[in-house]
Amino acid sequence: MKMGVIGGAGLLGSTTAFCVGCKNLVDEIKLIDIRENMVTSHAMDLTQAFLPLGGTKVTPAHYEDLGDCEILLCAAAVPEGKIADRNESLRKNVNLLLPICEQLDKYCRKDAVVITSAAPIDVLTYVLWDSLKWDKRKFIGFCANDTLRFKWATELVTGKHFDKLDALCVGEHGDGQVRLYDQMEYDGRPLVLTESEHERIEEETANWFARWQALESGRTTGWTSAVMMTAYIEAIVKNSGKVFPCSTVLAEQFGYEHVSMGMPCKLGTGGIQAVLDPQLTPTQKSALAQTADKISGLITQAGF
């Protein structure tokens, strides 16, 4: 199996290529970027790094080389800078994405799985799908970090071990994410939090992005994203059927349409094999409906 990475010289593209190669999940990774010298240097470096780890080949590439890729990771983006909200990148990243869509349409297999990470991912996942018009199940917006962070904060506050926690965020990869407290489990049993624990977890998760941006490091969460992105890719390559939160284009499923947003999705060969019903409470349903309206409005604003 082969994978193409657009934006392969960037942080997320290169760290994901590194993690995928370390796990020897694909035979070849093809890197595309407008910074050709950087992409070539990553390819030279990674190919040698992978020799003792299974030998994944890494090559600098152009769109016409992507015809045999079954997985396409679209991590190309404008430099993010200091932003308070991921939606600030919307117009610039839509303009960047449209010519990329033309190239993907021209050169790529229509049954390739397309994973996108660029902000704002819910809108961009919809734009990718609407521009290419391939099967909806092929389009996956990367939002797994939100659920990871929710579990991280729960471990931090309660001391309950991450590995035994079951928790999920749905909705927007941004302020409109809905953390499903009522469905949390620990070691297979319902996890009931105290009011103070609930408040502290909310504070840790809701303020996380602002704390990160205040560092003004100029980088995104390259390591976390690479690990979680690789978990998606592993599920697809191994056809594991594992469930991950993914931004997915919905067509009247669960009452939502003209939207892509985070929902629990079963991943395997071909991409999203099923979108699962998150079994929301009435309060969660109304929060998610608001989020869906917000994302749908942004999609309209983007001209789709």
- Residue 33 binding ligand NAD, by CB under 6 A: yes
Give residues 197-256 in contact with ligand NAD (rule: CB under 6 A): 220-222, 225
Burial readout 11-37 (b: 16 or more C-beta within 10 A, e: otherwise): bbbbbbbbbbbbbebbebbbbbbeeee
- Residue 80 binding ligand NAD, by CB under 6 A: yes
- Residue 126 binding ligand NAD, by CB under 6 A: no
Distances in whole angstroms, Cα of residue 37 to Cα of each of 42, 48, 76, 177:
9, 17, 16, 38
- In the structure encoding, which two tokens stand for residue 147, read together? 């659920």
Which of 147, 228, 148, 161 minimizes the C-alpha distance to 191? 161
Distance CA 180, CA 176 (A): 13
- In the structure encoding, which two tokens stand for residue 102, read together? 């033309």
Distance CA 144, CA 121 (A): 11
Distance CA 77, CA 146 (A): 20
Distance CA 158, CA 173 (A): 24
- Residue 6 binding ligand NAD, by CB under 6 A: yes
Q: Which of 1, 24, 27, 34 binds ligand NAD (CB under 6 A)?
A: 34
- Residue 171 binding ligand NAD, by CB under 6 A: no
- Residue 11 binding ligand NAD, by CB under 6 A: yes
Quote the least distance from Cβ 236 to ligand NAD, whole Å: 17
Tally Cβ neighbours within 10 Å of residue 141: 28
Total site size for ligand NAD, rule CB under 6 A: 31
Residues 89-108 as x/- pattern, contact with ligand NAD by CB under 6 A: x------x---x--------
Q: Which of 52, 79, 188, 282 binds ligand NAD (CB under 6 A)?
A: 79
- Residue 145 binding ligand NAD, by CB under 6 A: yes
Q: Which of 77, 123, 140, 170 binds ligand NAD (CB under 6 A)?
A: 77
- Residue 12 binding ligand NAD, by CB under 6 A: yes
The residues binding ligand NAD (CB under 6 A) are: 6-7, 9-13, 32-35, 75-77, 79-80, 89, 96, 100, 117-119, 121, 142-143, 145, 173, 220-222, 225
